[in-house]
Structure 1
Amino acid sequence: MKLNALLKTLGFLALAATPVVAGTAPAPKNPIAPCPNDDLGINASLGYDTNYVWRGFNFGQHWLSAGLDGSLLLLGGAGEDGAGTTSLNWDVKYGFLAGDQDHFVRGANPNADASFQRLELGAAFVHDFGAFSGSLGYRYYRNMGRLTQNNVGRMNDGQEVNLGITTALGPIDISSSANWDWVNGSLYFDLGASTTIAVTDAISVVPFATVGYGHNMNWQFAQDGANRAGGVTAGWNNHDVSNFTAVTAGLRFPIKLNSRATLIPYIAINAPMSGIQNLPVNGAPDNYATSVVYGGVSLNVRF
């Protein structure tokens, strides 16, 4: 009798512990609320480059930079009606040549190294069409330092309107842009390709290559007769460059440190083409127009 009573008691307890719906766990008495999304959608970066190469033109050595960028979703419809999404992307960048090691006046006078700093402000509307993304943007360049002054470099600030497109051909990402600087009267076009090769869950290798073409390119150096006398562009004529500028190719090695931080070392080669090679520059610059192997590293953190 005692054994039967014990078995009945165990059977009752097992029945009471069984969920009402098979395969589901009973709801907790005090459920924990999900954590709010604390991602602000802002990325911060710090970087070092052994050379500052901008559109194929080698401005100098030891470039230190910092930046912020973000994206604001304006319209969303990809998950609802297939209309795609529209975002406003923005960025702020600042950089300078550490030690003022420019590639323009150092060869002529080692004691007259020219400082150079640049501030960039950019914004663009980006729409995802599904098969590709298109962008329409504006960018402002504020050039500072001795390189921008009369009888040295005499650089203007720049203001650009740009059109861009990105797409994917299998594993290869393709991007292209057209940039019109109406202040300096120049057009610049580029075409780039890259692919991502995963090595581990945290490490990837990204081969990339870019080719540029300039029309009336001047890299924001003033070329009018009054201001270019004695400066970097003393031998330039107005509207010098309407040709291919350079081919740049290299490897990036993104390393995911945690869920928010990524370290990106890279190595690249910049090979100037006739558009840059044929530019005369006053004095004896180091290697503004010669091929150079360079590299660097950046730390990117998402907030």
Structure 2
Amino acid sequence: MKLNALLKTLGFLALAATPVVAGTAPAPKNPIAPAPANDDLGINATLGYDSSYVWRGVTYGSNWVSAGLNGDLLLVGGAGEDGAGSTSLLWDVSWGFLAGDNDSFTPAFSGAPFPFSTLGNDSNSFQRLQLGAAFAHDFGPAVVSLGYRYFYNMGDLADQKGYNTSSIFTPFGTGNGYHGMKDTQEVYLGISTAVGPIDLAASANYDLSNDGWYFDLTASTTVAITDAISFVPSFNVGYANNYTWQFTPDSVNTFSGGAGGLFGSGVGESGGDDVSGWAAANVRLAFPIKLNSRATLTPYVAVNMPLGALSNVAQSSQSNPFLGAGGVNPPSTGFETTWYAGAALSIRF
């Protein structure tokens, strides 16, 4: 009897342990949530403000407001877990403008004696639209990109029509051999890699419209402060070869003191019409703040330091006798050391 009771008890326990549906395993005590679907479109939207617009070592003006979109499209997947061997199409579009039209190149006519004080305002507007696309291939140790950019320059700085309707005698619309900036096409070759904690990026940029080169090298590193805040110091140095920063040769000749350009006597040209040599060094301290999984706010402070070849490209009353005689001192802030700051909000879609 005891044996029969024991067998019945064991049978009851076995039945209780059997799953309700045959062939299925018991549900785990702590189920794992399914991975969310990847709905990332690979697009970044950016809105930014810079107290000065510094581009390749030249300070174009103050209070630059910009907006842009950029993204990447995977064309060929990499065989390695780290993505090595992949090829992507990178693209970007951006637009910016000088709020207040406070450029760095216009002489201060208002402070000069008559008749110079009647020659117009002391500022010029500037807007720039930039479009770009590149193929990038990940070789493992480095990523190499080959790309194209188009720059559409607008505003008084880019006026090439002769006379400026907003001011009879502004430097970028006088019809006096000084024709502002060209819309520019550019091709470039870039390479990026990492050496320990240091990220390195270099590029060679050829200006098809003005037949000049600009080379640059950037070194940066990222230091995590908290889970949401990082510190990113970076250093950039640029080298120019027959480069004009998209200004026409007449414009650059004027900046470098040529007599045949803006306000010149038209007798000879003492300045050059392009720049070759070390252009500028730039130090930036950025503090990316991750607001959520998709949005990042990046404030920064920076200093731009034109080097020998670029720092010598500056207007002066001594090199422009016509202006000097009227007590007009053209600004050289576009080619001098500039401290500036700003912030950018980036949202990933």
**Secondary structure of 2:336's aligned partner:** coil
Instruction: After TM superposition, give the deviation of residue 224 of structure 1 in Å.
Output: 3.9
Q: How far off its partner does 1:108 sit?
A: 4.1
Instruction: Give, as a single letter, the amino acid of the residue that structure 2 aligns with 1:87.
Output: S
Residue pairs, 1:92-131, within 5 angstroms: 92-105=93-106, 107-109=108-110, 111-131=121-141
- When residues 286 and 10 of structure 1 are mapped into structure 2, their CA distance, relative to the original with a 3 A threshold, is farther
Tell me by how many angstroms 1:223 deviates: 1.5
Preserved CA contact (<8 Å) 2:91 2:132: yes
Q: Which residue of 1 aligns with 2:142?
A: 132
Instruction: From the two aligned structures, give the one with the greater strand fraction.
Output: 1
Pairing 1:173-212 to 2, within 5 Å after superposition: 173-212=199-238
Gap regions ≥5 residues in structure 2: 112-120, 163-169, 173-179, 255-260, 317-328
Residue in structure 2 matched with residue 172 of structure 1 by the alignment: 198
Cα distance change on mapping 1:289 and 1:238 into 2, 3 Å: closer
User: What fraction of aligned residue pairs are identical, expressed as a percent?
Assistant: 50
The answer on whether the counterparts of 2:302 and 2:339 sit within 8 Å (CA) in structure 1 is yes
2-structure distance, mates of 1:291, 1:211: 14
Question: What residue number does 1:221 align with?
Answer: 247
Write the deviation string for residues 98-121 of structure 1: whole angstroms up to 9, x where unpaired. 000111115344733100000000
Q: Show CA shifts across 1:64-94 (max 9, x none).
A: 0000000011111333898610001000010
Counterpart residue number, 1:300: 346
State the partner residue of 1:240. Answer: 274
**Counterpart contact for 1:243–1:274, Cα < 8 Å:** yes
Contact kept? 1:69, 1:92, Cα under 8 Å: yes
Once the two structures are TM-superposed, the CA of residue 285 in structure 1 deviates from its matched residue by 1.5
Whole-angstrom CA distance in 2 between matches of 1:179 and 1:231: 32
The residue type paired with residue 276 of structure 1 is: L
Q: CA RMSD in A?
A: 3.4
Alignment-derived partner of residue 152 in structure 1? 171
In the TM superposition, residue 16 of structure 1 has moved relative to its aligned partner by 3.2
1:73 corresponds to which residue? Answer: 74
Worse overlay, 280-289 or 177-186: 280-289
Aligned residue type for 2:339: V
Say which SS state the counterpart of residue 288 (structure 1) adopts.
Answer: helix
Quickly say closer, same or farther: Cα 1:33–1:259, change in 2 above 3 A.
closer
Note closer, same or farther for the CA distance 1:25–1:108 as it changes in structure 2 (3 Å cut).
Answer: farther
Q: Residue in 1 aligned with 2:295? A: 261
Q: Unaligned 5+ residue runs, structure 1?
A: none
Contact 2:145–2:189 (CA<8 Å) still a contact in 1? Answer: yes
The alpha-carbon deviation at position 202 of structure 1 amounts to 0.7
Deviation at 1:37, TM superposition (A): 2.1
Q: Provide the TM-score with structure 1 as the length reference.
A: 0.87
Q: Summarize the Cα distance change of 1:258–1:211 in structure 2 as closer, same or farther, 3 Å threshold.
A: same
Q: Count matched residues.
A: 297
Matched, 1:279 2:313: yes
Contact 1:19 1:26 in 2 (8 A): no
Q: Identify which range, 81-90 or 112-121, moves more after superposition.
A: 81-90
User: Per-residue CA shift, 1:183-210, capped at 9, x if unaligned?
Assistant: 0111000011000000111110001000
Cα gap change, 1:83 to 1:199, in 2 (>3 Å): closer
Distance 1:155 1:196, change over 3 A: same
Name the counterpart of 1:64: 65
Preserved contact between residue 96 and residue 116 of structure 1 (Cα < 8 Å): yes
- Residues in 2 aligned to 1:231 and 1:135: alpha-carbon distance in whole angstroms: 43
